[in-house]
Structure formats: structure tokens, C-alpha cells
Amino acid sequence: MAIPVDRKVFTVSELTRQIKQTLEDEVGHVWVEGEISNFKVYGSGHAYFSLKDANAQLSAVLFAGSRQGVAPQTRLEDGQRVRVYGQITVFESRGQYQMLVRKIEPAGVGALMQRFEELKRKLEAEGLFEPARRRPLPKLPQRIGIVTSPTGAVIHDMLNVLGRRFPNLQIRLAPVKVQGLEAADEIAAAVALFNRTCGPDSDWPADVLIVGRGGGSLEDLWAFNEEVVARAVAGSAIPVISAVGHETDFSLCDFAADLRAPTPSAAAELVVAPKAELEALVARLERALRQVLQQRTSGLRGRLAAVQAAGFLKQPEQMAERLAQRVDTLGMRLDHVLRQHVQAERQRAEQAINGLFLLRERQVRQVASRVALDERRLDQACRLRIERLRTHVAALARQADLLSPLAVLERGYSLTRTEGGRLVRSVNDAASGTGLVTRVKDGMIRSVVTADEPIGKSGNEGAPSRGSPA
């Protein structure tokens, strides 16, 4: 391959920047499906990983500020197959192309996940998920309301945990379906029932509600993603703990609740502290309070005794005089310190002014020196430029003299024109009777063509001239 002579040479930075711009313009933002590999989260919160398939891999980075783009139910770990949306660009310092990830969702999520995201955005825009509207749980609830299925391991696990942590709690179950077409309406109705029949004016008010079920697929948990459930939980006057599925499962019920528990059993642990721990805490606080009261009482008694024994109570006038004298002493010290401070500041100001004057004089001298130097350089440059121009003009004049027709006349040649100014190049240009003007080196000669036959034709070189002086 021939190498072109006229070529543009890029720096590495210029070429990398051009490749980066081309990738961003031509490829831009795309969806990519692949398997997560080498997933790692740094202390900054940024996550770095690769997307790979059987034949290739793509470096990717998920910045901490883009974590909200990770869809619920998405596991960010090696081996997980995901769909990723982001911008293809180049990491210039390494010359490596990569993807800046904005969204991640499990591969094959389908219509359910899309519906989940759309409903989540809708409710979020209405403020149902605002952290400010979440209420703290009661410190020591006595009555626990539970909304879940009456069968299965979930209710038994929660009852076991609650009974072990605080045996004398009052628990009321609202049995509902947690899966299927009617499940969402039943869950919402149960939350509303607790708010209606278990309010503060009822015979059995609930201090806190637990709404949840065990783990399952996205389809199994879908009842807790319905809008009616999210609105019922968000509108509950009783604080709600959402305990849906496993720790990696997220539902709209979780976002609407006052607190999300990773599992139903964890919800039972979060709702109330163990009774033994509370009793031990009360005992510790009682002992600490008694000790503090004893120390406080003893200290006050000692102070009272010291005050009673103090001499100033017997001679208060002397105490006042000593205090007045102390005030005068402190005033004099303060006045002396202020005077010294003012004097020091005045000296510093004078030194600063003198320094400014010296600095100004030094700068004026430096500027004057630079101006004089620039004047000399400018004068030298002007002289050199003028001399070069003179030389150039002289060369042009000599060249003009060489090319001038007058120089040809100096060598004995002449230039003939008709009286009309037309140049005579041939005898055919001057018919008989034509007036001519011939220029020689020292003047002009006027003549008229008289001969009928041009000199030099047909061998008549000796024939008389066709022109005669005018």
C-alpha cells in the first residue's frame, strides 16, 4: 500500500477523541443484553463490570448516581443475565470503549416489569413514596395487626417470632389471598378494615400493621404491585410494615409502606424488641437513675455545707469590695492590651504601606526597562525591514529595465506603428499611403508608405524603400 506524501498526523489524544466522538454520534444510546462478569463496587459507590456472551465482552460502568435506574428484582452479581441501557463511549485515558449504564433490568422481564415501572413512576409522581410521609413505628406496640394468608409458613413464622420476643402481645390476623386475581382487592380491603374497626375508638385498636407474604416469582408477588394495594397502604392511618418476599424482592407495597422488612420473619423482629431486652433495659435505667440521684443529692449536700461555712456570707461587703477591685484590675489589663494591639496594628499598617511604595517603584522601573528594550528592538526591526524593502525594490527596478522595450531600442532596433497606433508586424499591415510612426532610441520618425511592392519579395531586395520621410 502506497503511503500518501501529503498526510495528517494525529496525536494519540486527538485520535482517541475523534474515535470517542464517532462512537457517541454513530452508536449513541443502545440496549444490550448479556451476562454480568467481574462485577465490583468501589468505595465511591460506582460499580464496574463486563457484559459478555459466547463470542465477545463489553466493559460497563454504573455510577452511583444512576443506581435508581436499576429495576427491582435485578441481581447485580456475576452470572446474572440482564438487559442494559446506556451510552457507548471511550475511556480516553485507557483508549478502551465502554458503556455508561443508565438502566438495568433482568433479561426477559417482559410486560409485567414494564407495567411495574410505569405504575411506580405514576405513584411516585403523586408523592405516595415520599420519605417525608413515612411515620416512625411505635416504640412498644401492644396490638399487632397482620394481613397475610392464614395458611402456609409465613403466619406461623411470624407468630413464633412474636411469641418468643414478647409473649403477651395481642395479635389479630386478617386472612387474605396473597396470590391470584382477587388477592389485591382482599389485601386492600383488609388494610381498610383495620383502619375502620381497629382505630383508636374501637375495642381493639392496632398499633402497627404487617402486610406481606413469602417469596416467589414476579408473577407470584404481583398482587402487592397493584395500585389498589399501594394506595391502601399509603393511606393507612396505622403505621405499616411491608414484608413481601425475600430480601431481593421489591414491590410497590414496599415503597408505599412506612418501613420495608426484608422477610416476614424480619418484620416480626422489627415490630417489637424482645421483652427480656426491654426488661433488662428498664432495670439498667433504674439502677443508673438511682445512682445519679444519689450522686446528685450528695453533691448538693456538700455544696450546701461549703456555702454555709463560707466567710463571705458573714461579711458580704468585703466580698463585694474584692469583686469590685477585681473588676477594676481586669479593666486596666484590658485597656493595656487594647493599646498594645492598636499600636501593633498601626506598625503593621505602616510597614505594609512602605512595602507597597517600594513594590510600586520596582514595578515602574521594570516596566520602563521593558519599554526601552522594546523600543530598541522595534527600531532595529524597522531598519532591517526598510533595508530589505529597498533591496527588493532595486531588484524589481533592474528586472523592469531588462524587460522594458526601451532597452531593445538601445540596441539599434525600432518600433513602428500606424498613425492610428496599431503595431506593424508585417509589410501587409502597411498599404501604400499609410502614415507610419517609427520610434528609435532617441526620438520619433514619421513616414508614409509609397512603394507598391514590399522590399524583399520576388527577389527584389534592391528595390527602393516603400516608406519616405513625411
Greatest mean pLDDT among 170-174, 281-285, 306-310: 170-174
382 domain residue, yes or no: no
Please give the average per-residue pLDDT across 241-246, as a whole number.
90
Express each pLDDT in 426-454 by its tens digit: 888 888 888 889 888 788 899 998 865 55
Is residue 100 located within the same domain as residue 145? no
Q: The pTM is what?
A: 0.42
Write the CATH number for 206. 3.40.50.10550
Confidence of residue 378 (pLDDT cuts 50, 70, 90): very high
Residues 68, 153, single domain; the answer is: no
- pLDDT at residue 236, rounded to an integer: 92
Mean pLDDT computed over 307-333: 77
pLDDT above 90: residue 5: no
Q: Please report whether residue 160 resides in a domain.
A: yes
Q: Phi first, then psi: give them for residue 39, nearest 5 degrees.
A: -75, 130
- Whether residue 309 lies inside any domain: the answer is no
Same-domain check for residues 263 and 152? yes
Same domain, 180 and 97: no
Whether residue 36 is predicted with pLDDT greater than 50 in this model: the reply is yes
- For 151-198, how does the pLDDT look when each residue is reduced to its tens digit (9 = 90+)? 888 899 999 998 888 888 889 999 999 998 899 999 999 999 888 876
Domain extent, residue 260, equals: 125-131+140-276
Q: Are residues 159 and 79 in the same domain?
A: no
Q: In the chain, how many domains are there?
A: 3
Q: Flag whether 354 is in a domain.
A: no
pLDDT confidence bin for 76, thresholds 50/70/90: confident
Q: Which pLDDT score is estimated for 459? A: 42
For residues 414-433, average pLDDT: 85
Residues 269, 145, single domain; the answer is yes
pLDDT band of 53, cuts 50, 70, 90 = confident
Average pLDDT over residues 204-212: 86
Q: Where is the domain boundary, 276, 308, 330?
A: 276
Query: Which residue's C-alpha cell is 485597656?
Result: 335
**Residue 74: exposure state from Cβ atoms within 10 A (0-12, 13-18, ≥19):** buried
Per-residue pLDDT at 313: 63
Q: What is the pLDDT of residue 94?
A: 85
Whether 272 and 152 map to the same domain: the answer is yes
Residues 28 and 100 in one domain: yes
Asked if residue 294 belongs to a domain, the reply is no
Region 51-62: mean pLDDT is: 87
- Please check whether residues 42 and 102 belong to one and the same domain: yes
Does 337 reside within a domain? no
Confidence of residue 3 (pLDDT cuts 50, 70, 90): low
Q: Examine residue 151 and state whether it is found in any structural domain, yes or no.
A: yes
* Together in a domain, 103 and 172: no
Average pLDDT, the chain: 84
Ranges 222-226, 321-325, 433-437, 464-468, most confident:
222-226
79 lies in the same domain as 179:
no
pLDDT band at 312 (very low <50, low <70, confident <90, very high): low
The reply to whether 97 and 164 lie within a common domain is no
